[in-house]
């Protein structure tokens, strides 16, 4: 599924993702032993693949596009899904160019156990991503050289941030890949049957 700049399409996509979280959690509640999270065995047996929601620019749908009501609905669906999705194998990657406290409040940021801060213009922006006071402790996106493409601070697994480097693909290469790889894209398929909690009543 894909949504571009239209607020209603983006809301529908995030709602579908959140509704699938509800469906999976209902299914697991009805399973023997009431598993607390999606395991590889459950994923394979019941055909529940991992889903990943990717939001390329959070600010667009929460502060720019659409009405205030649409922005609020988008944010509410996203926050709820991020809070409950991990147990159901439903992850999210959220990115923004200008992180601010009003755009990424701690109530959303703290739900992500992996955070990556690339170069930022201010120490405050870096702290919005990594957490309060990390810049004061020596972990700041402002220390990353402007020419150091892909270099970032990575915070994960309750450890101190580490300096890391991710792949950086120039715009012209991305444009070439979008043309050269599209012919190899598989046809859309239904990745799983729509199971119902009643299916597990007698198990």
Instruction: Give the angle 132-158-165 at the CA atoms, nearest 5°.
Output: 85
Q: Model-level pTM?
A: 0.79
pLDDT of 177: 85
Read off the pLDDT of each residue in 172-182 and give the average, rounded to a whole number.
84
Bigger pLDDT: 142 vs 179: 142
Domain range annotation of the chain: 1-98, 113-169
Each residue of 98-115: pLDDT tens digit?
888 888 888 888 899 899
Lowest mean pLDDT segment, chosen from 74-83, 110-119, 175-184: 175-184
pLDDT of 19: 94
Each residue of 30-53: pLDDT tens digit?
888 888 899 999 888 888 899 999
pLDDT-based confidence at residue 68 (cuts at 50, 70, 90): very high
Half-sphere exposure of 59 (CA within 13 A, CB side): 8
């Amino acid at each position: 599924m894909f949504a571009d700049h239209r607020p209603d399409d983006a809301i529908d996509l995030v709602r579908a993702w959140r509704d699938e979280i509800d469906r999976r959690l209902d299914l697991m509640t009805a399973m023997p032993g009431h598993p607390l999270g999606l395991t590889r065995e459950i994923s394979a047996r019941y055909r529940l693949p991992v889903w990943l929601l990717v939001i390329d620019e959070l600010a667009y749908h929460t502060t720019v596009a659409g009405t205030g009501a649409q922005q609020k609905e988008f944010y509410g669906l996203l926050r709820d899904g991020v809070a409950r999705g991990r147990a159901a194998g439903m992850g999210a990657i959220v990115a923004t160019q200008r992180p601010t406290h009003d755009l990424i409040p701690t109530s959303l940021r703290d739900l992500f156990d992996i955070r990556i801060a690339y170069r930022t213009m201010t120490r405050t922006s870096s702290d919005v991503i990594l957490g309060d006071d990390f810049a004061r402790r020596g972990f700041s996106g402002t220390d990353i050289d402007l020419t150091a493409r892909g270099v970032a601070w990575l915070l994960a697994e309750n450890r101190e941030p580490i300096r890391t480097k991710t792949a950086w693909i120039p715009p012209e290469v991305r444009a070439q890949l979008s043309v050269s790889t599209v012919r190899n894209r598989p046809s859309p398929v239904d990745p799983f049957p729509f199971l119902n909690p009643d299916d597990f009543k007698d198990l």
